[in-house]
Each structure stands twice: as C-alpha cells, then as structure tokens.
Amino acid sequence: MAIWEEKFECCPREELQQLQLERLQSSLNRAYKNVSFYRKIFDDKKIVPEDISTLAEFKNLPFTTRQDLHRNYPYGLFAVPLREVVRIHTTTETIDTPTVVGYTRNDLKNWSNLVARFLCAGSVTHDDVIQVSFHYGLFTGAFGLHAGAERIGASVIPASSENTEKQIRIMQDYRSTVLVSTPSFALIVADWLHKLGIDPKTLNLRKGLFGGEPWSENTRKKIEERLFIEAFDNYGVSELMGPGIAGECQARNGLHVFEDHFLPEIIDPQTGTELPLGQPGELVLTTLSREAFPLLRYRTGDITSLDCAPCSCGRTLVRMKRLMSRVDDIIIVKGINVVPEQIEKVLMEIEGCEPRYQIIVTRENYRDCIEVSVAVSENIFFDEMRKQKTLLEQIRSALIHRLGLKVEVKLVERKTLEENLQRSAKVIDKREL
C-alpha cells in the first residue's frame, strides 16, 4: 500500500519525538514573538521559549480554550501580518463571533499534504474521480479536501452542497469513484438512490472518505452495504487547520494522528492532568508547523484515547480511537457545531420567551432534526392561539437565521420545562450514530 510521506509517517518514534521537540521550539518562538496573548502567558510565568527544552516543561503551560479564541476575535491570535495570510476560514460554531483562522502559503501547502496523506492511506490515487460534497465557503472541509485531492493528482469535482438528486446525477454522469462528505450525507445518498430506483452497483463509486461529525462502526457498515464502497474516517478541527489532523489507514483500527504537525495529549477534562497512554480523556493539540495561527495546548473538547502499538500498515504515528463524544454540550449537525448558548442568546432577545429551553436532537431517514422546547410565561401560554403561533414563528425564524439550520420549536409552560429539566439533560441527543 502506498504511503504519501513515508519519511514522516513511518519515522522511528525516537526520531519523531526529536522532530516534534524541534518544531515545538519554533512554534513556541513564533507564538511568543508575534502573539501578545501568548507573550503574556510567558511573561506572567517569567519564562521565555528557550526555557522549555522538554515536553514535561512544555506541559506546564496553560491550555488555550475556545473562549480564548473568541476573546481575540477576529485577528488577535494571528502570528503573521495580514499581507502574509493567503486564506481565511472560520469555524462552524453557531455563535456570533466564530473563530477566524488564517493560513500562509506554507500552511496551505502543509494542509494539502496532510489531506493527501489520509487520502493515500485510504488507497485513493490519481486515477480517482473525487466528488467533494462539502459546502464550499468559510467552512474548512471542502477547500481542505479539495486541495488534498488535487495534490494527489485525482480529478476533483467540487459538487459542494448541491441537492442530493443533482449529486447523484453528477456521480452517474461524471463517474465519481470517491465520495467525500459527512457520513450522514452518504446515507442520504443511499436513501435517494433507493427512492429513484437506481442500483448503487451501476455507479462507479468504490470509496468514501467521511468526517466532520461523529459516526459509529454500525454506520460504517450501513454505508458500505448500501453503497457498495469502502468507508474511511478522517478527523479535523477548523481552529487547528480543518481536515487533515488524523485519518484511517487500510487497517481501519483507529485514526493515525499526524504527530509531526500536531502534538497530541490526553487530559482529564475535569482536572486538566495528563492521563496515561491508552486512557480516554479530552484531546489537546498543539500545532507544530502552523505559521499564521499557532495554537498551544488547544482543548478540542473531543473525547478519545491514543494507541502507540505498531500498526499493520507500517505507519508509526499514534492512532486515536474514533470519536463518539465531547466534554461540552456542543451538538454536531450536518458537520455544523451547534453551541447551545447561542440558542439561549437568541431567546433572550425575543420578548415573551425566557432563556430556559431543552434541545432534543433526533435522526429520521438519516436527516438530523433539532427541536427546541422553549419556556414561555403563563399568560402567553394560555393566551389566544394566534399570539402563540406568532411567537413560535418568531422564535423559529430567529433560530434558523442565526444557526443556519432547520429547527422545530415547541412552546411549553415554564413549570413543565423545569420538570423536564429536572428529569433529563438540557441537551438530549437521541440520534443513533
């Protein structure tokens, strides 16, 4: 099986650790010299980057959190002047001030190379026709995968978020061999093929590279059986780069983390202490090569564990277990990270409703549905139907507008909602992923 960058992907671990330390030094220097947020952290500790010569010393630095990124909106954490930034993306969080992420020319080069690594690990080659069915826009997914696919020399179709029927037509007519999307979209395609009476075997599809949202082995099985393809998982976080942080190989027994570019740690999300190798905890990542937007000890919020055991593919890079949960109550719907506080904020702006709510996420025919039960004061609840309907519509359209997703709204009496919240959580995810 081909390996895109054997020198790094199969590097003996001692050599890899040495390379990580060297790159870490330059990341620390870049952050210290150019980002006032990080300079303050060093100054407060009365140290300079040169004082950090081991990983243990590095792990004394505080974590960087999502809140730190928000406080520095939009360009506060950029480590290069804007004239050196050649691309800007943002995170998908449904909040008013998403994180703005910059890339230098070198960052883009590394990005496409890392995406090429996991495409190659999934046996995608220059002979493939790759249909990228992620939305092209501020989101990192489409552009990241697109560039990686071009890098390996495949024929790339930027199908973007065209409707499913059109995506299928493209698949048929342009003879796509690889589908790149969220796993839930793959199942929607399977459903539409069935609805349209098209036999998936008549397509040329042979592989699917899926990521951007949690999915299980069971979902993989369903996708493979219904589309007659081999499905691979890949992981990324927009703040750190986008797709291209980790990806599965043919062994499909965990995702190889591209450790020469991202230094992983697993911590106890409550105490912040590092956990022994193999134990599940929150994934913390440090960028080792990012020029425009270096992040030190960034808390991803994702729960996983790391496995250093040798892999049958020959790669020496550590493998992370596929992700199924987060430490926070962010819900990922169609690859978009829905932040519950944003719902609260929208409700606070609407007269007549209270910032008390419960979110229920369901999946029907592979389409996710968010239902928000909102507490309203008694006089509104018992008011005439017309007024209730107007309020409901007002909340619904405000949420759709701010979240960019379809939302169903239910008005409930405050007392009922309080009782529900005592019995169950604020966010209930009923999806079978």
**Which residues contact ligand DLL (rule: CB under 6 A)?**
91-92, 140-141, 211-214, 233-238, 242-243, 300-302, 323, 326, 332, 335, 337
Could you tell me which residues come within 8 angstroms of residue 325 by beta carbon, excluding any fewer than 6 positions away? 214, 303
Q: Give the nearer residue to ligand DLL in terms of CB position, either 325 or 390.
A: 325
Q: Which tokens sit at 121?
A: 């690990």
| Tokens linked to 195 | 């609805």
> Shortest approach of ligand DLL to residue 221 CB, angstroms?
16
Nearer to ligand DLL by Cβ, of 135 and 410: the residue is 135
Report the nearest approach of ligand DLL to the CB of residue 320 (Å). 10
Closest CB to ligand DLL among residues 72, 92:
92
What the block records as the tokens of 226 is: 């219904």
**Under a CB-based contact definition with an 8 Å cutoff, are residues 229 and 128 in contact?**
no
Please report where in the chains the tokens 């790339």 appear, as a residue: 156
* Minimum separation from the CB atom of position 185 to ligand DLL (A): 11
Query: Residue with CB nearest ligand DLL?
Result: 211
238 vs 373, beta carbon nearer ligand DLL: 238
Q: Identify residue 137 by its one-letter amino acid code.
A: G
Per DSSP (E only), the strands in 288-406 are 298-304, 306-307, 319-320, 325-326, 331-333, 336-338, 353-364, 367-376
Q: How far is the CB of 412 from ligand DLL (least distance, A)?
A: 29
The least CB distance from residue 237 to ligand DLL, in Å, is 4
Nearer Cβ to ligand DLL (107/213)? 213
Which parts of 105-261 fold into alpha helices (H)?
A: 105-121, 140-151, 164-173, 183-196, 217-227
Whose Cβ is closer to ligand DLL: residue 103's or residue 235's? 235
Q: Is the dihedral of CA 215, 221, 222, 225 positive or negative?
A: positive
- Smallest separation (angstroms) from ligand DLL to the CB of 223: 13
Smaller CB distance to ligand DLL: residue 320 or 353?
320
Tell the residue number behind the tokens 């909106």, with chain if given.
73
Shortest distance (Å) from residue 134 CB to ligand DLL: 6
> From the DSSP assignment, how many helices (H) and strands (E) are in the chain?
14, 21
Identify which of 70, 98, 65, 92 has the alpha carbon closest to the alpha carbon of residue 337. 92
